[in-house]
Structure 1
């Protein structure tokens, strides 16, 4: 027999699970859950990387988008494991712009969230580089990216600046980079993949011209959900535990 307390607890669990999808009422949670069930009919549900693929499909509204994700590491699950570990270690989540920061859920973790944009104004004025690139370089000088989850959803120049920082020795826990657009977006993600592979930094990116802050936040949120499930003992994020 289900008690009122059981129903309330179940509702709270569902709210935590789907809050990042905009679900804050019972009806909204049912819609979000049904939507994810539909996604799982088209996207495998066997690995940690599959969970990220599912979230990308849900975020983009495109079943084929699952094939556009790229996972940089020894295997596809490595960046998901690294991101989940960083969440459990309460690492800082750094985003390039306000929109990406706003999309990262505040539930299920104790990580600080901060954005790069707004930093490096003097450097941008002096050099003429974009505000986001200057902001990334300024935060790197502060050591903000070390062992952090770095999420870039909008600015290709931010991704290129981060790649330069990694090449020079900066080591984030994981990079999520899905900058969108027709100018330098694809090139910036490719450079992130190449530099991260060379330097041993786990990364999740995509190919093609699509992407954006919503996608980047959604993928970061899935890292948080994986960490939450690991915390509850529902899965292991240790390599070889699958």
Structure 2
């Protein structure tokens, strides 16, 4: 496919689902990722997640805050991509994260936890997000899912408790942000993910947020799309640079 002025868009199509739908917009998106790749290694699937973290934040230092748990980093990404290809549900903690998940390149149902568990929150005094996670877990929603927490530390803590009690998401993306329990909640996710072999992508420190969580989840979708197109085998450690 070419643009009106004759430019080939094949190099840009992988990032069209970021919202870019015109030739100029796709060129901007691809140029932005090219600049990120100058700052972040481009050798492993884990590097693709670090690149997306930098792209989502505009901060090259953010690549050093990403952590992978439950398996080696490339296998964590593969687990997420396989879940996308299997059309497993993507479950976010709040509406903002859900709104940031791309609607292109996958057929996964995307839903938010918030809005569930109101009775439990009222009865116990726990936060609405924590109660929402526990209620959806009671319904079996998190089993095999892409579980995403981008805002609420208490949601991450509740999800960690669910994993400890036997729930097995296909992958967890947890980047809740803030000064109260945010870093601790992600550390808790890492601990239970490592203990129970659940693939997880988290960040360290206080920084994170909904945009980061959505961006990292979208990169799992992009990896799945590359695998679906035959450009990236999910059962090998082939260098990323040769896969794209």
Query: Counterpart in 2 of 1:230?
Result: 227
1:34-113 → structure 2 map (5 Å cutoff): 34-113=31-110
Structure-2-length-normalised TM-score: 0.93
Runs of 4+ in 1 over 4 A off after TM superposition: 2-5, 10-13, 239-242
- Per the alignment, residue 185 of structure 1 pairs with 182
1:71-109 superposed Cα distances (whole Å, 9 cap, x missing partner): 113311121010000001010000000010010101001
Tell me the TM-score normalized by structure 1. Answer: 0.93
Partners in 2 of 1:65 and 1:199 — Cα distance?
27
Structure 1: runs of 5 or more not aligned = none
Please give the root-mean-square deviation of Cα atoms over the aligned residues, in Å. 2.0
Q: 1:3 to 1:223 in 2, by over 3 A?
A: closer
Q: Which residue of 1 is the match for residue 206 of structure 2?
A: 209
- Number of residues of Structure 1 aligned to a counterpart in Structure 2: 239
> 2:2, 2:92 → 1: CA distance?
42
Conserved? CA contact 1:16–1:107, under 8 Å: no
Secondary structure, aligned partner of 1:77: helix
Distance 1:46 1:240 in 2: 10
Please give the per-residue CA displacement for 1:147-182, whole angstroms capped at 9, x wherever unaligned.
000010000000000000000000000000000000
Residue matched to 2:16: 18
State how far apart, in whole Å, the 1-side matches of 2:177 and 2:237 are. 34
Separation in structure 1 between the aligned mates of residue 206 and residue 16 of structure 2, nearest angstrom: 27
Aligned CA distance change for structure 1 residues 115 and 28 (closer, same or farther; 3 Å) = same
CA contact (8 A) 2:149 2:176 kept: yes
